Every structure is written in structure tokens, then in C-alpha cells.
Structure 1
């Protein structure tokens, strides 16, 4: 998660045209860490109550990339060596904007637009979780739609990977190769921990932390090459960004302690085009999270989440997304599929572990120098992170097809969705002036929608999959995730398993006001509460000493 946060904060800093040594890079990273810690804590204690790690959602990368293609958001090219890089294609830029883009006020204005638009977009997730409407929505989202959406997210990161990696392909490919080798070949290799003796505890570092391992080695190699001046000292040369001291000024400009707070960049503002892009990202993130809930429950060997628990998890993610917007994180948080996979690998599925991790993230977020150090990561290493991210997101997307019949119907739907998802943003980037409705705001909205490959692929896949005749079995919609009697499954299991999705600290309140649960779909159903009261009464009766001595 930390490596993902490093790449995400670097990308966001470049989109707002932050200077290479601008302390705002450390501030964005600190905010990302804090929101990941807060979201993880809330989800573990009050949300789905499964060991689900929360972090920055990759679903927000496509709309941000689409936004960067707009002329008003392009960074000045005259100082490209100092801003990092221009995400979009080269175009002529008004000289006044080029001067203003570097001002602190201009960067804060962009972040305020992100913040307000994200906070409003998160309202939809809150409403869906509060009303329990997520169960109805999932009925129309098949694995084919999920595969097209998540795979297109991976495709959308390709340009980012190239833009960062071309600063120094050697360092980028080395970092990416180390990460992929650790994932594919070194997963079963463990390293003993001190003291080195027979029976010592061993850690599977390559299986559990492949990207972190790759970043650490890549950063170390880059530092050695920097010390021996292998990399050029010319600030205008692209290879200069591979030096580990290229952003060292951030460490000097950042205070030891920094506490992110709501409105730290100013009062959040709203932009309809950004809002729609974030709205699509929020819906995609929500669908991905629901899939992670069921996968985590299966790996934990417990009953799948009932409807009220799923709704509560989505509600918490929505609240965390709104708080992220107000804090200026400019992205929502979501459950990490990679961490769900780690549950099956490490056999560790404890809420205490996740709560501890959340506290650690919160502490790290207020240590300004730590965030500043992380923000000095060389750009080519970030490129390596994005290369691995492309591979992981694509593989995760395609893995959702394991229960789908790959016949001509389904493969054609997937091919059309992915093909148009790639074609539309490419056309928008090559023809930025083709959309002319006479209304500037409407032009921006259309460009962002058509430039977000995730949205194009997802919506086309959903329409085709729900209109072309096909059985539920061949669509992959037969299984636990698509059954409707989730709450009834809890009736025939042990009482200890029922507690997983409930609130032990609130049971007395819910027992007295169980009618309230009828109006709140994110709370346990009255039947579940009544069954619990009956079970507890029977347990008390059995534990009482028999007065007659029988």
C-alpha cells in the first residue's frame, strides 16, 4: 500500500504542476497515509468488520489522466525539467497560464476542485450504502463487466508507466523486473529472522512484500549510482530525475511534524466535469470492494457477508471518501485485492492486525520528514511501480473470468468493451478540439467521459451483457456472490460466526431498539437480533444450576 501511495501522490503532484522540490508533494503523501489509516480503522471496527486493508483507489487514475489531457490542465512545457513531466501530449499553452500554473494559489485551486468534486461524488456511495441499494445494483454487474472495467484500469496506467520510465528505462525496468520476479518465482522462498538458529521464525518477504522489496533494491542501486556520479548532474537532462538527491530539497523544506486537516488547501470547490469522472471511479471502486468482501470471507472460512454488512461496508467507504475529499487527498479509499490474497497466503485474518496497521499509518502521516523522504523517490522507480501495477490490475481483472464460459458471446462483449475503451481516450487525445458543443463546461464533461477508458469499457460491457441473451451460468452469475438469501445463511451456523458482522458493543442497544433496524438496511435485521436474543436466553438457562440437583 505504501508503494502505491508513493506512486499515486507523485502522479497527483505532477497533475497539479507541483515543482519537483515542492513540499506539497510531502503533504499529499501524508494525507494519503492518514486517510488510509482512518479508512482501515473505520472499516475494521464499524464497517464490514472483516480484515480489509484500505488504500488509495486505482479507479481514480483514469479520470485524473483524462483530466490532464484538457488544455486548461496541461503543465507548462518551458520548465518541464522542474515540474517533473507533462502527462499529456504537447500543445501550445497560453503564456499567462504558464506563469500562473507554478503559483501556490494555482496548485491549491486545482486541489480544491478535486476535493469538492470528490466529496460530492462520495455522497452517492453513502446513499447506496445507507439505503441498501447496493444489493439491487450488483444484480446487473456480472464478472464480465467487472473484468472489462478493472482490466481497462490497468491499460490506462500504461501511459503513466511510460512517462515516468522514459526518464531512465534501466532503473525502471530493473525495479519492475525485481517485483515481477519476486511475485512469480520467489514466492515460496523465506528468509530467517534473528537469531539465526534452527527453528528460527522465517518471513516470506518476496511473497508478502514484492513491490516494497523491488522499490527498496531499486532505490539502493539508484543511490549508489548517484554517489558515484553515474547519473548526470545536469538538471535539464531527463536522467537527472534518476538521482536520489534530485528532490532532496523537499526534506529541508518540510517540517518535522505535519498534521493534515480538512480544508488544508482552502475551501473545497466544485466542477461538474471532475465530479462525473470521480463518480464513475466511485462506482467502479464500490463494485470492486463488494467482490473483495466475498473473497475475504471465503478466505477467512466464515459465511459470506449478509446484505446489511455489505451495505455498511459501502457506507463506511463513502464516508471515508467524503472525508478524503475534505482533507484534500483527491482520491477515495477502497479495499485492496492484494491484501485479500495475502490472507490466504499468510493465514493471518485478524482485525487487531489491521487496526494496528491503521495506527502505524496515522503516526507515519504526521511525521513530516518521513513523508518528505518518501516523496524524494526517483521518478524512474515510480515508473517501475506503475509497470507492476499495470500487470497486477490486468491480471486481477482477467482473473474475475474464472467462472465465466468463454464462448463467442462473452469474448465478443469483452473484446468490444476493451477495444472501445482504448479507442475513445486515444481519439480524444489526438483530436482535443473535435468536441465543440458551444458550451465550454459541456465540452469538458464530454471530453472527460470519453477520455475515461474505465467508464467506456465498463458501461459498454454492462449494456451488452444485460441485453444480449445469455444464461446466468455462462455469464458467471451463479454462486455465493449472486445468491439472495444472505441473512438466512446465518441462522444455521455457530453463534461465534454470527458475531463477525455484528457490533458486540452495541448489542444491548440494538436489542432494545430492534425496530430501528427495519429503517436502517446497514444494521442487522430484526430476525437476526431476535435469534441472537433467543440463543443467549437458552445459553443462560443451560448455565443456571439445577435447583433440584438433577
Structure 2
């Protein structure tokens, strides 16, 4: 739903100058899909062969970067040759003043935009936004796991992810940023393009962004990327996001008329209701501005509307567990429970990837950690029910 709901954002940016946007989009499709297995000759060196030419799969790992740099340089050449009219969105000199006026360094600090204020209306609106963001993040976690070819995130991983996002939002509010911190679906699409899902890479990327965020001049340089190039990138990424979302339906029976109705109705209403409310912002009037703001925040969120209707219909319309795809999910849920209960079961690489990077020996040794919902040894507060054996679970995972 996120990919479908954001099509208007990408088309508005791409429409600022369609020729450049079309070139960028076509190159992205060709490079990332048709040329992904083509190697590029690069000079390499090792002690055995010395200086030699090796074939590096550049288009496999960096298709978005390569195409964006090419189109950016193309816009720079067209601007230098004055082949683009003044004020055209594809020109690279539109933001020259931004680069000149930006300081070299900016150090953020709490309260730099004034003391924070709190109102009931803003709190209600943020609560609605946070609920919608949690729903979106859970879907992001599962989609990322599918791309990395690991099992679905267990309870503790989801809880830990949501908690860290909440901590990020608190820090964002303290430092006065204009938005909260949450998982971003476009990054999942980048994993699909680059085939890189290493957590260490994510940590290094975060460190680089912290450094770049302080260098205001460098940030201003990135602001010179033409708007149609960004629009084409968004169109490509949102298309991948939509495909990733549809892949989660593989466990249900799509030949069932029941499932077809639930899927089609929830997707259509998830697009129609927020779009109509955006065009008619004052239509909800309960007599309380706070309640109006909260309701509008929820109903203008495509993920919430579609997810709520899908949840309601799927749980009220009759259907078998296999038809609804719940048989597979039951095995996944029981898998984590089985491996937590059995002390003799050896951890698989899929389980290890959801562990903490440090302190796991102590966490496994302490008994109280099984009651902490964000630790890998979490078993829940309820009595453990009888679960499927590990062999059966592995067979079901192999089928998927």
C-alpha cells in the first residue's frame, strides 16, 4: 500500500521535466534488470597476478548510483551548453545560491529552534501517526527479511525495532527535526536492487550520514540533483516496494473469491478514502478539533485504512486456515517458540541474525531475560503450548 499510495509524489517530481525523468527511468530498468549480470572491466591488484583487469558486477551492486550520476552529469552538460530554458527543473544551477549561502559546518543541539511546546491536538495527531507508522514498520521488517532470505522477524526483534524507532522519534523531537525516525520502505527497495543487506554496512552508512549531516556544504551539493531525476528514482523504488508487498501474499490462496474480495476491496478503499479526504480536508466535524485531527490522521493513512479493512474482513468472513495462509504463519510462530523452549536445538544462521551483536552469552545465562520482550530469549508471559517439531517446521519453510 505504501508503494501504491506514493505514486502521486513521484509523478509530480518527474513531471517537472519528463524527458530527463524518462531517460533516468529507462536507464534504471535497463541497468538493474537487463545488465545486472554484465561485468565491468576494472584495474585490480593482488600479489599473485599483480596489476590486472577484473570483471566487477558494477550494475548488480550500484545500479541506482551509476544511473543517477550519469543523468546528473547529463543535466550538468545540458545546463552548461544552455540547452535547457531558464528556470527548468532539470538545470543544475537552480540551487547554486543554496551552496554559496550554506555554512561549512552546522552542529545541531537541543532547543535550537526554541523550547518545545505540547498541546492535546498535536499529541493526538502524533499518536495516530505513530500507530500508522508501527503498522508500516512491521510490514517493512517482514519485507526486508524476505529479501534477505531469512525467517520472519520473531517477537523480540519486532519489539526491539519499534522501541528503537520510538527512541529515535524522541531524539528527533529534542533536536527539533521536522519528522520522526522510522523504517523507510525505499531502503528495502535499495536492498532488492543492490543485493546488500549486511547490518555492518547499515552501521557504516549511518555513521557516514551523521558526518555528512554536519557538513552543510556537502548537503547543499546533493540538493542540486535535478528534481526529475529524483522523481524517476522514486517511481522506480516505489514500483519495487509494491512488488515486495505483493510477494507477502504468496501464502494465501489467490484463486479463492473470498480472498480476491478482501484483497481488492481493502486496497481500493485504502487508496480512495485518503485521496478523497485530502481533497476535502474539512469534511469531518465532530465538534472537537482534537478528535477531528486524530481521525483525519488515521483515515488519511493508506496503510491504516487498507490494513484495518483487510483485518476486519479477513477475521469476519468465513475461510479455512489454509485458504487464509495462516497455516504457514502458525508454523513460523511455533518455530521461534520451539527453538526457545528446546535448549538442545542449535541456533540456525536465521536465528543468529536476530540476536544482539553483544552480550548474548550473559542474556542466555540469565533466567529473567526470557520475560523481557525485546531480548532474543523472550518466551512470553503465557504458558508455552505444544508446538510443532523442528523437522516439520523446516519442511514448511522450505516450501515457501
Answer whether TM exceeds 0.5 for this pair: yes
Tell me the residue number matched to 1:338. 189
Deviations 1:160-200 (A, max 9, x none): 12221221111122222222222321221222322499974
User: What are the equivalent positions in structure 2 for 1:96-495 lying under 5 Å apart?
Assistant: 152-195=1-44, 200-233=53-86, 235=87, 240-270=88-118, 271-272=122-123, 274-292=125-143, 294-295=145-146, 298-299=149-150, 306-327=154-175, 328-334=177-183, 336-338=187-189, 340-341=191-192, 345=195, 350-406=198-254, 407-479=256-328, 482-489=332-339, 491-494=343-346
CA distance in 1: counterparts of 2:182 and 2:90, whole angstroms: 30
How does the TM-score come out when normalised to structure 1?
0.59
SS at match of 1:358: helix
CA distance in 1: counterparts of 2:352 and 2:261, whole angstroms: 44
Deviations 1:116-152 (A, max 9, x none): xxxxxxxxxxxxxxxxxxxxxxxxxxxxxxxxxxxx2
Tell me the residue number matched to 1:533. none
Query: Size of the alignment, in residue pairs?
Result: 364
SS at match of 2:189: helix
Larger RCO (CA within 8 A; separation ≥ 6): 1
Residue 367 of structure 1 deviates from its aligned partner by: 1.9
CA distance in 1: counterparts of 2:324 and 2:211, whole angstroms: 45
1:292–1:340: 8 Å Cα contact kept in structure 2? no
1:277–1:452: 8 Å Cα contact kept in structure 2? no
2:143–2:248: 8 Å Cα contact kept in structure 1? no
2:189–2:237: 8 Å Cα contact kept in structure 1? no
Tell me: CA distance 1:319–1:208, structure 2 relative to 1, closer, same or farther (3 Å). Answer: same
Tell me: CA distance 1:429–1:205, structure 2 relative to 1, closer, same or farther (3 Å). Answer: same
Structure 1 position 525 matched with structure 2 position 385: no
- Cα RMSD over matched residues? 3.2
Residue 153 of structure 1 deviates from its aligned partner by: 1.5
CA distance in 2: counterparts of 1:444 and 1:216, whole angstroms: 42
How does the TM-score come out when normalised to structure 2?
0.79
Tell me: CA distance 1:351–1:396, structure 2 relative to 1, closer, same or farther (3 Å). Answer: closer
1:172–1:381: 8 Å Cα contact kept in structure 2? yes
CA distance in 2: counterparts of 1:323 and 1:522, whole angstroms: 20
Residue 339 of structure 1 deviates from its aligned partner by: 5.2
SS at match of 1:479: helix
Tell me: CA distance 1:278–1:326, structure 2 relative to 1, closer, same or farther (3 Å). Answer: farther
Deviations 1:408-455 (A, max 9, x none): 111111111111122213322343343333333433333333332222
1:176–1:214: 8 Å Cα contact kept in structure 2? no
Residue 251 of structure 1 deviates from its aligned partner by: 0.9
Residue 258 of structure 1 deviates from its aligned partner by: 2.1
CA distance in 2: counterparts of 1:211 and 1:226, whole angstroms: 22
Tell me: CA distance 1:269–1:215, structure 2 relative to 1, closer, same or farther (3 Å). Answer: farther
Deviations 1:212-266 (A, max 9, x none): 2332222111111111112222x4xxxx222101011111121222233444433
Tell me the residue number matched to 2:368. 516
Residue 517 of structure 1 deviates from its aligned partner by: 1.5
Gaps of 5+ in 2: 380-400
Deviations 1:69-104 (A, max 9, x none): xxxxxxxxxxxxxxxxxxxxxxxxxxxxxxxxxxxx
2:105–2:214: 8 Å Cα contact kept in structure 1? yes
Deviations 1:362-398 (A, max 9, x none): 2222222111111222222222122113312221221
Deviation >6 Å, runs of 4+ = 196-199
CA distance in 2: counterparts of 1:432 and 1:522, whole angstroms: 39
Tell me: CA distance 1:401–1:155, structure 2 relative to 1, closer, same or farther (3 Å). Answer: same
Tell me: CA distance 1:496–1:448, structure 2 relative to 1, closer, same or farther (3 Å). Answer: closer
2:356–2:376: 8 Å Cα contact kept in structure 1? no
